[in-house]
Amino acid sequence: MTYNKIKNTRVLVTGGAGFIGSNLCEDLLANHNQVVCLDNFATGHFHNIEHLMTNPGFKLIVGDIRNLSDCHKACEGIDVVFHEAALGSVPRSINDPITTNDVNIGGFLNMLVASRDAGVGRFIYAASSSTYGDSEKLPKIEEVIGMPLSPYAVTKYVNELYAHVFALNYGITTIGLRYFNVYGRRQDPHGAYAAVIPLFVKKLMSHESPVINGDGTNSRDFTYIDNVLQMNHLAAVTDEPAAYNQVFNTAVGERNNLLQLTTLLKQYLTDFDQAIAEVPILHGSNRPGDIPHSHASVDKARNLLGYQPTHTLKDGLKDAVQWYWNNL
């Protein structure tokens, strides 16, 4: 599928050495953009962008969004900002709410100020499905949210409020993308806060039992990285005024529970190693702060941005499993 992409533009990707950020940097370079990457390598990795370092269109700035001068430096001459830098993970935020707040709110505000001061034309930022909080309405539509269930969710909601206020008071065009459980190549399977898909893949490849939190009926709208790249491009190029200063679900629009997810992972990994079929799945307690069910409506993105997701969970998992098998 072809869609409109941003091209021949000077862009900044914060958190550009992370999972989503590095994929975005790579894709933006492939479309002849000049890309500045700002990262402090707290959760990102140099190996994610090492292959980009020889590209004349790529520039790395090692810096921290909590430092306003780093943000100002990174925004010099930039037309579009893709703000991906954040401390993710609900459990991390529960264990350390202060650092999560400093990065996700303080750093976000710094980037908005620096973007305003540099005359940036458009500010596209990573919002989160965690903003829906305790709202039980399914599918999730952008205008109906509940109360947040974790410090991380609070920070991502505050980002949306700040983006709205900066659009209102300073005229900067902002577009928020509420990511729903993004997965794919380069997502880190290591560490205490690894996301479920890379963590489960790593365990199964080692013939260790993954542990599902709860009975496995909790469901998610798992979103492959290529769908996320499409949404970032569409947000960058849209000339539809009704899309400006809005938030959009960035998802597939389908719902799969964790039992279905592990079944598919075992099925695809067994193509490489038959013994994985015999690895048992274990169950633990539900995690505090987790939303039980997450299922997005992508109608708003379809109607205003022309979004058409290209990868269902089955499509994306096949690609992701292949990548992990070759790279872990």
DSSP-assigned letters across all residues of 177-192: EEE-SEE-TT----ST
pLDDT at 276: 96
Q: What is the pLDDT of residues 212-269, one digit of tens each?
A: 989 999 999 999 999 999 999 999 999 999 999 999 999 999 999 999 999 999 999 9
pTM: 0.96
DSSP codes, 212-280: EESSS--EE--EEHHHHHHHHHHHHH---GGGTTEEEEES-S--EEHHHHHHHHHHHHHTT-GGGGGPP
- What SS3 state is found at 213? strand
Q: Give the E-state strand segments of the chain in sequence order.
A: 10-14, 34-39, 58-62, 80-83, 122-128, 173-179, 182-183, 211-213, 219-220, 223-224, 246-250, 256-257, 282-284
Answer whether residue 260 is part of any domain. Answer: no
Is 280 inside any structural domain?
no
pLDDT score for 308 = 97
pLDDT of residue 288: 80
Ranges of the chain whose pLDDT falls below 50: none
- Domain limits at 160? 10-187+223-253+294-309
Distance CA 321, CA 248 (A): 28
Beta bridge partners of 2: none
Whether 284 is covered by a domain: the verdict is no
Active site annotation includes 183: no
Per-residue confidence (pLDDT) for residue 290, from 0 to 100: 76
CB of 184 closer than 8 Å to CB of 319: yes
Residue 276 lies in a domain: no
In a domain, 163, yes or no: yes
**169 in a structural domain:** yes
105-135 per-position pLDDT tens digit: 999 999 999 999 999 999 999 999 999 999 9
CATH code of the domain containing 142: 3.40.50.720
Helix (H, G, I), strand (E, B) or coil at 138: coil
Please identify which of the residues 3, 125, 132, 152 carries the catalytic annotation: 152
Structure confidence at residue 271 (pLDDT): 95
Please count the structural domains in the chain.
Answer: 1
Whether 43 is covered by a domain: the verdict is: yes
Report if residue 93 sits inside a domain: yes
